[in-house]
Amino acid sequence: MIFSQILMDLHSVGNKYTWFNQRSENPIHIKLDRVLVNNSWMKEFPDSYYSIQSPSCSDHCLVILHSGISEQVRHRFLFKNYWTNIDGFWHLLLRAFSDSVSGNPLSHFSNTLRILKTCIKRESWSSYNAVNRHMDSLLASQKDVLGYLHADPTNPAFNLILKDINAKVVDFSAIHASWVIQRAKVKWLKHGEDDLKFLYGKIRSRRGSTNSVVNLLASSSLVPRAELVASIIHHFQCIYNPPQHTYFNIENFSKGSVINDTVAYELCSAVNDYEIKDAVFKGSSSSTPGEIKSFFSKGYMPNGIKHTALDIIPKHKNAENISEYRPIALCNVIYKIIAKVIAGRLKLVLPSIIEYNQSGFLQARISTENILLASDILSSASRRGGTNMLCAKLDIRKAFDSVSREFVLARLAQKGFSPLFVNWIKMCISDIHFSIVLNGALEGYFTSTAGLRQGCPLSPYLFSIVMDAFSNLLKDRGFIDITADNFHLTHLLYTDDVLVFGEASLHNCQNLATILRDFGNSTGLHINFDKSAIMFPKHQSNQHIISQVLSIQNITSKIIYLGIPLAFNRLKVEDFLSFMDCINNKLNGWKANLLSFAGRL
């Protein structure tokens, strides 16, 4: 019935489960109670959600439906693709860029865009609401003319008017479809008709989830909205401006593999038009290019180009507090083109200077290799009956958001990159100001002293360079690995996902604890021991001693690594159920029903 009625589970906050069987042995926690709504409900109450409260004396948790936040906010300026079909837009664009360039080209371009934005906002067609009202007016006129033609179908004047109205309806229908597709952000819907019913459903679903942060905090009606927003801004301001970590000496980290002088020189060669074009065309069709070459020749980037909006995304369903939300950077398109040009050069040399333990975002290295290798190592160790070993999954606290920018730059120089190239990177990652996107509006404006933006093309590559220092530390300080069939392995990395294998001796684990502390103090990347986990072979005798030395209290028989379960013992079918459910949920029933038959094909 749920699928046939095209019902969807409304976004929820609070507790994850709603029912408990009240048993200490064989306990069952499950989400039995839900709020299901249809498309009509989401149209009337797009900001609605429900909260799962404490159960009190019942087996079931109390479920409260909230209509959502009714306070209207000023939405941030967004480019609408349909503007390119309007003559007035091109007139404004050509007039804005008709003046000759004065001063720094990037600054001039940024100022011109600011002026153009102001001019566009004055036009009636800039707002989709005005376009929608005009469409309604056209349909009403079309109906009136058809009424006249019923009485006099051969009247040439009325037929000419109807033809003109029909042409305008076609144009505005295309505008309507363009805006809906842009808002839905369904990039995989490439073929088939533009199924607007499906796309509207996707928009409403996205709107419910993107409003979840404010809805979560707005559960307390006694606190003014401004105060709630301020608390969100303060939270992320603290993340991107951590207390100064202890001084690091880059010489305490071995260089590992470095680039030679020839490669370093080639990385700083003049940027050509093809590189810029390639960076632009690899981007979304909903983005626009800008003036680029002046940055590489002058090494200067205005702060306005780097100003970043942070979109707050829940890390999982039923996120209960602001710490369970991930900030995704919405970088300026001009900045992203510059960053893509640099990243395009950087990624070509990284495989030669990054240890093979790292498989994230490097050419010819894929995550499945890590999963298969880890599985083979554990199964081989289990077959040999070895007991003196461990496998630990380490969670880095706020990894991208807390990494030291000074360490990034020092590590780049240590790896052999030229001062000019390092300065390009410095211009991209330093002096970053943030605003938070809440309910479509930009809130706050604060600077930052640490972190790499999740959403910046450079971030994964720079982070891999930082994590390579961890690989070098394990090797240089003699951390004892585990061996299987003459293959030695200490750890596996996929960006910030860390899996450590080693001898489960007291001395070896004390060494690992020291390495993690020194690495964290130097880079800002500290381990979140509460979210980390460790597992041992079945008959390991010193499990609790080792876990205390490493400060990892979560001793488990199974670790989830990159979404796949790993264990020393043989896994069962039920161990993979969550993974299978994740795949099945990629296309929910409400989505399949909203798509027409042709759209599903």
Closest by CA position to 550, among listed 595, 515, 598 = 515
Q: Within 13 Å, how many C-alpha atoms sit on residue 287's CB side?
A: 18
449 has pLDDT over 90:
yes
The torsion region of residue 563 among left (phi > 0), alpha (psi -120 to 50) and beta comes to left
Q: Please state, in angstroms and rounded to a whole number, the distance separating the CA atoms of residues 276 and 293.
A: 9
pTM of this structure: 0.78
The pLDDT of residue 450: 94
Q: What percent of the chain has pLDDT over 70?
A: 85
71 has pLDDT over 70:
no
The pLDDT of residue 22: 79
Return the minimum-mean-pLDDT range out of 11-20, 180-189, 203-212, 224-233.
203-212
Instruction: Tell which wins on pLDDT, 352 or 31.
Output: 352
Quickly count: other Cβ atoms within 10 Å of residue 479's Cβ: 20
The torsion region of residue 340 among left (phi > 0), alpha (psi -120 to 50) and beta comes to alpha
Cβ contact 355:468 at 8 Å: yes
Cβ contact 389:504 at 8 Å: yes
Q: What angle do CA 275, 185, 330 make, to 5 degrees?
A: 55
For the segment 139-157, the average pLDDT, to the nearest whole number, is 87
Q: If 0-12 CB within 10 Å is exposed, 13-18 middle and 19+ buried, where does residue 246 land?
A: exposed
Cβ contact 31:17 at 8 Å: yes
The pLDDT of residue 80: 87
Residues in the chain: 601
DSSP string, 31-97: -----EE-HHHHHH-TT-EEEE---TTSSB--EEEE--------PPP---GGGGG-HHHHHHHHHHT
Q: Please state, in angstroms and rounded to a whole number, the distance separating the CA atoms of residues 77 and 361.
A: 32
Encode pLDDT of 189-228 as tens digits. Answer: 444 445 555 555 555 555 555 555 555 555 555 667 788 8
Contacts of 261 (CB under 8 A, 6+ apart): 416
Closest by CA position to 465, among listed 208, 203, 258, 180 = 258
Cβ contact 60:221 at 8 Å: no
Return the minimum-mean-pLDDT range out of 102-116, 174-188, 192-206.
192-206
Model confidence band, residue 490 (pLDDT cutoffs 50, 70, 90): very high
Quickly count: other Cβ atoms within 10 Å of residue 473's Cβ: 20
Contacts of 145 (CB under 8 A, 6+ apart): 158, 161, 162, 165
Q: Please state, in angstroms and rounded to a whole number, the distance separating the CA atoms of residues 400 and 462.
A: 10
- Classified as helix, coil or strand, 461 is helix
The pLDDT of residue 288: 43
Q: Please state, in angstroms and rounded to a whole number, the distance separating the CA atoms of residues 229 and 194.
A: 37
Cβ contact 438:312 at 8 Å: yes
Average confidence score pLDDT of the chain = 83
Cβ contact 41:56 at 8 Å: no
Model confidence band, residue 486 (pLDDT cutoffs 50, 70, 90): confident
The pLDDT of residue 601: 47
Highest mean pLDDT among 42-51, 130-139, 506-515, 584-593: 506-515
Residue carrying structure tokens 């970053």: 432
Instruction: Tell which wins on pLDDT, 582 or 589.
Output: 582
For the segment 26-47, the average pLDDT, to the nearest whole number, is 83
229 has pLDDT over 60:
yes
Residue carrying structure tokens 């091109």: 90
DSSP annotation of 595 reads: S
What token pair was written down for 196? 């607007």
Q: Please state, in angstroms and rounded to a whole number, the distance separating the CA atoms of residues 37 and 45.
A: 10
Instruction: Tell which wins on pLDDT, 499 or 580.
Output: 499
Residue carrying structure tokens 């700083």: 268
Highest mean pLDDT among 52-61, 86-95, 511-520: 511-520
Residue carrying structure tokens 């289990």: 382
First-to-final CA distance of the chain: 23
The pLDDT of residue 199: 53
Contacts of 366 (CB under 8 A, 6+ apart): 359
Quickly count: other Cβ atoms within 10 Å of residue 88's Cβ: 14
The pLDDT of residue 188: 45
Highest mean pLDDT among 227-236, 241-250, 460-469: 460-469
DSSP string, 347-391: HHHHHHHS-TTB-TT-TT--HHHHHHHHHHHHHHHHHTT--SEEE
What H or E segment, with its residue span, contains residue 340? helix 333-353
Model confidence band, residue 281 (pLDDT cutoffs 50, 70, 90): confident
Encode pLDDT of 118-128 as tens digits. Answer: 999 888 888 87
